[in-house]
Amino acid sequence: MSAALRVPSEDDASDVARLFSDGAPEPVDRASVLREWNFPGVQITNDARLGDGSYAFVDSFGDGRVWISLAGEPSAELLDWAEARARELGSRMLSGAWVSKEAIIRDLERRGFRLVRSAHRMVIDLGDTGASPPIWPPDVEARAFEPGDEQVFYDLHQETFGDSWEPLEETYEQWAHQFLAPGVLDPALWTLASVGDEPVGLAICHPHAVDAELGWVRVLGVRRNHRARGIGRALLLRAFEQFRDRGRTRVGLGVDATSPTGANRLYESVGMREYARFAILEKDAE
């Protein structure tokens, strides 16, 4: 390994968070970096490198897809290492950057990566909207997360996101590592919508880890046979109401720019607007 590149240690987590946050529309905190390094199956000594003002992390999805995370100003040496590691792990390399990070996107394109998708970050300023209460279909009941609901939320999340572009099939262990972590599991902000004994929709929300004014909708999904009934809209309006009650002034989320389920149209219909875009690029491993 070159002296210019090294394996990061826990002491570097704050610096890595800063590299991801500098000039980016969405700040990252130290805890999220450590959570990524401790994700089941990750081998930090093999999967991450820190350079001079740059960072790369290579993550296998386990099905041939490999994601390359980049931050700072990656050198050619760092990009070479990331591609080589990705080839060891799979057959499809995916990477990307905020569109404001033009240098990273240009470097990836020069290496044969091509744009395949975009993701939006959307936000609503709660002070600019009326306090519209959620209106639920007559047969739908909504309640907050209760102890013992973990498996229900996991199952519903996996099912409802199965219609998304390039869905990820996560084990319960992988899901729990991300969603039951401190700062993410906020039971009052997790909503389960049901028809009788059948869970039909969910929202997983939490305060943003860095931005004290921002509430975050991490997951919002409705089962296919209950869509177009206003359940997704009610889940979203309930989240707005809850964050407003907690003194948050804005609510944000991420969404596929061309969502197969039309989620972006739902968000626009309640007054959310795009504030940032993330470009996703792909290259076949050679």
pLDDT given at position 183: 82
Q: Which residues pair with 56 in a beta bridge?
A: 49, 70
| Residues ≥6 apart with Cβ < 8 Å to 241 | 131, 133, 134
Q: Nearest-CA neighbor of 243 among 138, 136, 134?
A: 134
Ordered structural domains, the chain, with CATH: 10-120 (3.40.630.30), 130-270 (3.40.630.30)
Nearest in space to 91 (alpha carbons), one of 62, 115, 114, 69:
62
pLDDT, residue 223, reads 97
- Residue among 28, 252, 21, 255 at smallest CA distance from 120: 255
The residue ranges of the chain whose pLDDT is under 50 are: none
* Burial readout 110-149 (b: 16 or more C-beta within 10 A, e: otherwise): ebebeeebebbbbbbebeeeeeeebebeeebebeebeeeb
Residue for token digits 């499809």?
92
So what's the pLDDT on residue 202?
98
Q: Which residues contact 59 (CB under 8 A, 6 or more apart)?
A: 36, 39, 42, 47, 66, 67, 68, 69
pLDDT for 22 equals 93
pTM tops 0.75, yes or no: yes
Using CA atoms, how far apart are residues 16 and 23, in angstroms rounded to an integer?
A: 13
Q: What pLDDT score was predicted for residue 3?
A: 55
